[in-house]
Structure 1
């Protein structure tokens, strides 16, 4: 009988609550950093080039942006699930994507991960809110998952050795793929075992993305080792280049702090080699991750020692705490790629995480091949490659086992999709008892062919829109109406049929003037305004929408969209009027202070705009890679930007 137990607990940290989702559907594409030009893609190996160009996401629909957080922290209690044996204690955050917060090795009294001492959301996930630390399960599309700060289902399942295993599962909504993550601690083992599975229940191929993202402590003497002689370097200049390991441009890049700027290193692990990556300190001690061969990719992400990377580190955690790097494992060679999963098929693999001790002289020696070979030998002694394969085979026999009572509850969207598609998913049940208020109107559409009676749009923002082809068909077959045409337009826009989307939103407005469809029309015009077509019409429509909206949260979100649209139309007076619609508390937020500075520049008041910077502000939801602070500052002065505003992730 296995010795692993699973129990519920809690963790108290200084934290900033995630806050409410944005009430507005995110129509415009995110400025996702992991992209390259087509000309550069053409130079890549054929299989990589194909996957880099395969099925990029158009938007984060059907999810909403999680942008309601700030930077004021107070003690907050986070529910946890503890998986424990006599060797390891694993702390999981089921309300935050199933993140592994801590992996503690009892015999050596060592924390093997970087554990963030605070909970601070920041704008790194595809849908905004993300936080650093621990082991993150990244599924969906290029970037941090939309489940970063969302709950997942959790329950106990019998482990392969007869003990207890923690199962986490959810429905990933960008690609409509259910997945599961099973965690258990085999008796007497120093390694956390993780069985993972992504299923495609549909009758068509779906694009899949997965990277397990592991935060590890970063010191001057930290070295990351991997069985590779080459790596693909991706910097925030958005350029992908193949370089040698570990020396490049005069520095040993296997030490995270020897890079100046943030960068990704995607390693070319030979096909036949064992898949592993390790982060070891000056004593040759640290964490190793290994897996079955399906999880082929390995990566190191570094913040670097430059001012931008250091500022981001401070932004994500508490002052005067040690930094971190990320070692990662994925289905593809790089994070620019998506992998096709055929209809009715699944991807399944096993990962193992545990402590490793190696000879420090060998680990930090000048001979890279000798160092990586030595670490591979130590890994083989600690956890033979054959044992990982055997553990995977044993886990597969448990993967379909039904879970016990829920220890944590995720969303009801998987239950709705299971009801629509009639999917049978052994091991990851999405029963009707999981349906909630957000799914009610869609269940009505599914069962009656129309949205609930009284298809009207009032002062309350419409709920989330479902945008998959199956739900778009449902909307197209439903009777026309204010709300139905609004949702249909969102679904058509997501599908890339912008002309039909505009016609649907125009029908929605004709049936009953409403701010929601008007706002969508304004953003459609603003999207085209990038080519200089409709900036004035976009401005007119967003102003009309603002006059109609009364919901406080929706108005604040709409003002943040309206100001850039009005400035693009060279209408700063109306941009100022839009900002003045906000209550004082909202105007004092960093994003609105930055917008205020942008309006002042457009009004010909650069000294007043400079005063905004001099007074100080923090843009709570500053996007990863966004250089708006730098560009705004450069419009005001040639002086170096103050350290508090320096978030640039690439050379100037």
Structure 2
């Protein structure tokens, strides 16, 4: 009989820390959104479809650092006689580990530490296990958030169910982990339900991390791939060889890249990673999950640095094999009003003759893996899992194991009030006892027609968005104080109404001068080429002086002030910060920029020499190597008496001042 129990994983942990006081306003888009589709444009969905202006109503998770200490993670463990699955309940329901009990092999890459880094839509992300990404392009906003979880008693024995309300798309979703007696596959049943009366763009990718050992090969049933690299272009290439390199062996990758395998219609969807001995992980699914992908960090210095950055250096690297709804992660699919999408994923051990899986004959390698899959888990058997699951997917929870957010319960209350379709389902309830202080102001708006008055000296209430809540804020706009007008602006900008947002924030700042509305207006000013930069700088400086001290406010203000040459004001903003904010890595970057702006090359070099880390360095960001090279080039130019743009200067700077490994996160060719 399968067993399900709670446990605690003890490992070094870098705490998530406090969330940012600044809401994520519209700004630079993800690198994938700017992809040049070239010759494959006719095969893709419109990349603009489904893109969101920001991840509002979510907050940013950027309060983590690089210091780790003893800690614990709450997990649920589901096992039968063949497999043991461990799920992190407070981290998006991440499948942390999957162990083949007969051999003792870990089938996934299991990170020995918990170390957040800035790769997710809300910032904090960590490597390892299987991550469940939905909503919009990128690592889900819920990847470092607690989930609702329960035990469900089913004909297959105890099942672990996790669920939440995804706030960008306003949809509930559930993931049921099932290990029937005798099964050599972990079954992961997924359901997304559009309970609204409107169509929504949808996105899902299961992100599977596996260890990248020497000789590891990734195999999928495809003859071609869409390749996306961080130079920004998407191209259709043959599988598995491109430019003379067999990219099915990730150790051959020169730098970071995505390979979206082009599975032809009618082919069974699966993907596998096998080591040099032909053993590894096999993932298959029912037909809805048609996409498959390989991601590699690459073997350049920057790729290796990222691998170390995400874990404990020297513990080995990983690669990602993924499964999604669309052909690529650049696309969203339209989900009709009232529709339900469900599928089953199967995860299990693979052991195939290495002479075949590592033969030059790609077709033979593919056929060998598929033959084993078809023998062990025929298509009708996997499809029957989906059919059987639909008969018990709405069974009520038998025992609560974990509590997620109160946002689903709040949305249920709003829909009840207006007679709309429920936000939850019998098997995934959003109960009133999950409501917290975060939802209290919005319950007041729902019940009393107005947000509670708040003082402007502290961060405002948690944000909200969506047509229903926007309508309530609009109804209350005439009598709203600064706080109500500020929240109205956030809801409007989340809906794509930037001019309406500006009007609301102007009213907020006029009603009561406050850092939050001034910062929002300054942010808009900076992204509007028609607005003089001085206005943004003035507003940022005013916001900084009204706000509680924070490195986030200081960094944004410093950037705006430097953009218009107000060097002394930028210095003052940084100098006014208390510890530990003044030593944050982002502030160190600002100090380098301030020194460069003032022509103080020695001071800029000294900041680098002292050494600093930027805990929230963004994937694909070039600020560190760009600043290092600028300091080096200006130093060399001064020594040689040449223009800083002279090619001789650039060559000598690269030769005499090579980028230290500490600051090398380059994801493109070097």
Q: What residue is the counterpart of 2:649 in the other structure?
A: none
SS of the residue 1:254 aligns to: coil
**How many angstroms apart in 2 are the aligned matches of 1:111 and 1:42?**
40
Deviation at 1:426, TM superposition (A): 2.2
Residues 188-207 of structure 1 mapped to structure 2, 5 A cutoff: 188-207=182-201
1:217 aligned residue (208, 211, 216): 211
* Larger deviation, residues 56-65 vs 382-391: 382-391
Deviation at 1:33, TM superposition (A): 2.1
Distance 1:404 1:30, change over 3 A: farther
> Conserved in 2, the CA contact under 8 Å of 1:41 and 1:49?
no
**How many angstroms apart in 1 are the aligned matches of 2:565 and 2:598?**
10
The superposition leaves residues 342-396 of structure 1 with CA deviations (integer Å, 9 ceiling, x where unpaired) of: 0011110000000011110000001101110111001112222221111111111
**How many angstroms apart in 1 are the aligned matches of 2:34 and 2:204?**
19
1:468 aligned residue (447, 466, 469): 466
**How many angstroms apart in 1 are the aligned matches of 2:314 and 2:29?**
31
Deviation at 1:430, TM superposition (A): 0.8
2:256 aligned residue (251, 255, 262): 262
Residues 459-498 of structure 1 mapped to structure 2, 5 A cutoff: 459-478=457-476, 479-498=479-498
Q: What residue is the counterpart of 1:445 in the other structure?
A: 445
1:133 aligned residue (128, 133, 137): 128
**How many angstroms apart in 2 are the aligned matches of 1:271 and 1:399?**
28
SS of the residue 2:160 aligns to: strand
1:537 aligned residue (524, 535, 538): 535
**How many angstroms apart in 1 are the aligned matches of 2:554 and 2:264?**
51
2:98 aligned residue (103, 108, 114): 103
Residues 132-171 of structure 1 mapped to structure 2, 5 A cutoff: 132-161=127-156, 163-171=157-165
**How many angstroms apart in 2 are the aligned matches of 1:615 and 1:382?**
57
Q: What residue is the counterpart of 2:266 in the other structure?
A: 272
**How many angstroms apart in 2 are the aligned matches of 1:137 and 1:160?**
25
1:48 aligned residue (24, 44, 53): 44
> Conserved in 2, the CA contact under 8 Å of 1:159 and 1:395?
no
Q: What residue is the counterpart of 1:579 in the other structure?
A: 574
Matched, 1:237 2:231: yes
The superposition leaves residues 306-353 of structure 1 with CA deviations (integer Å, 9 ceiling, x where unpaired) of: 111000000000011111000000000000001111001111000000
The superposition leaves residues 517-561 of structure 1 with CA deviations (integer Å, 9 ceiling, x where unpaired) of: 111111111121xx2632100110111112212x34xx3321121
**How many angstroms apart in 2 are the aligned matches of 1:64 and 1:586?**
19
Matched, 1:309 2:303: yes
**How many angstroms apart in 1 are the aligned matches of 2:597 and 2:360?**
56
1:365 aligned residue (335, 340, 359): 359
> Conserved in 2, the CA contact under 8 Å of 1:35 and 1:238?
no
Residues 408-423 of structure 1 mapped to structure 2, 5 A cutoff: 408-422=402-416, 423=422
Q: What residue is the counterpart of 1:506 in the other structure?
A: 506
2:115 aligned residue (112, 120, 124): 120
> Conserved in 2, the CA contact under 8 Å of 1:246 and 1:368?
yes
**How many angstroms apart in 1 are the aligned matches of 2:401 and 2:431?**
15
Q: What residue is the counterpart of 1:645 in the other structure?
A: 663
Residues 7-86 of structure 1 mapped to structure 2, 5 A cutoff: 7-37=5-35, 40-41=36-37, 43-44=39-40, 46=42, 48-50=44-46, 52-86=47-81
Between the two proteins, the alignment pairs up a number of residues equal to 639
Matched, 1:295 2:289: yes
Q: What residue is the counterpart of 2:419 in the other structure?
A: none
1:337 aligned residue (317, 331, 335): 331
Matched, 1:397 2:388: no
> Conserved in 1, the CA contact under 8 Å of 2:352 and 2:369?
yes
Structure 2: tracts of 5 or more residues without a match: 417-421, 633-652
SS of the residue 1:144 aligns to: coil
SS of the residue 2:173 aligns to: strand
* Larger deviation, residues 556-565 vs 408-417: 556-565
**How many angstroms apart in 2 are the aligned matches of 1:482 and 1:53?**
34
SS of the residue 1:124 aligns to: strand
Q: What residue is the counterpart of 2:430 in the other structure?
A: 430
> Conserved in 1, the CA contact under 8 Å of 2:454 and 2:483?
yes
The superposition leaves residues 204-256 of structure 1 with CA deviations (integer Å, 9 ceiling, x where unpaired) of: 00111100000001022000000000000000111100000011111111001
SS of the residue 2:78 aligns to: strand
> Conserved in 2, the CA contact under 8 Å of 1:356 and 1:382?
no
Deviation at 1:47, TM superposition (A): 5.4
SS of the residue 1:77 aligns to: strand
Q: What residue is the counterpart of 1:547 in the other structure?
A: 545
* Larger deviation, residues 587-596 vs 94-103: 587-596
Deviation at 1:175, TM superposition (A): 1.2
Matched, 1:525 2:519: no
1:620 aligned residue (615, 621, 635): 615
* Larger deviation, residues 163-172 vs 507-516: 507-516
Matched, 1:605 2:605: no
1:320 aligned residue (303, 314, 329): 314
* Larger deviation, residues 22-31 vs 137-146: 22-31
The superposition leaves residues 492-533 of structure 1 with CA deviations (integer Å, 9 ceiling, x where unpaired) of: 1222222221111111121111111111111111121xx263
2:178 aligned residue (184, 188, 191): 184
> Conserved in 1, the CA contact under 8 Å of 2:50 and 2:136?
no
SS of the residue 1:49 aligns to: coil
> Conserved in 2, the CA contact under 8 Å of 1:457 and 1:512?
no
**How many angstroms apart in 2 are the aligned matches of 1:30 and 1:313?**
25
Deviation at 1:456, TM superposition (A): 4.1
The superposition leaves residues 45-80 of structure 1 with CA deviations (integer Å, 9 ceiling, x where unpaired) of: 545233x23120110100000000000000111111
TM-score (norm 2): 0.94
SS of the residue 2:606 aligns to: helix
Distance 1:628 1:31, change over 3 A: farther
**How many angstroms apart in 1 are the aligned matches of 2:34 and 2:576?**
40
Distance 1:519 1:425, change over 3 A: same
The CA RMSD measured in Å over matched residues stands at: 1.3
SS of the residue 1:44 aligns to: helix
Deviation at 1:174, TM superposition (A): 1.4
Q: What residue is the counterpart of 1:630 in the other structure?
A: 625
SS of the residue 1:203 aligns to: coil
**How many angstroms apart in 2 are the aligned matches of 1:500 and 1:211?**
34
**How many angstroms apart in 1 are the aligned matches of 2:322 and 2:6?**
28
**How many angstroms apart in 1 are the aligned matches of 2:153 and 2:391?**
11
Deviation at 1:409, TM superposition (A): 0.6
Deviation at 1:590, TM superposition (A): 1.5
> Conserved in 1, the CA contact under 8 Å of 2:130 and 2:209?
yes
> Conserved in 2, the CA contact under 8 Å of 1:62 and 1:465?
yes
**How many angstroms apart in 2 are the aligned matches of 1:585 and 1:350?**
47
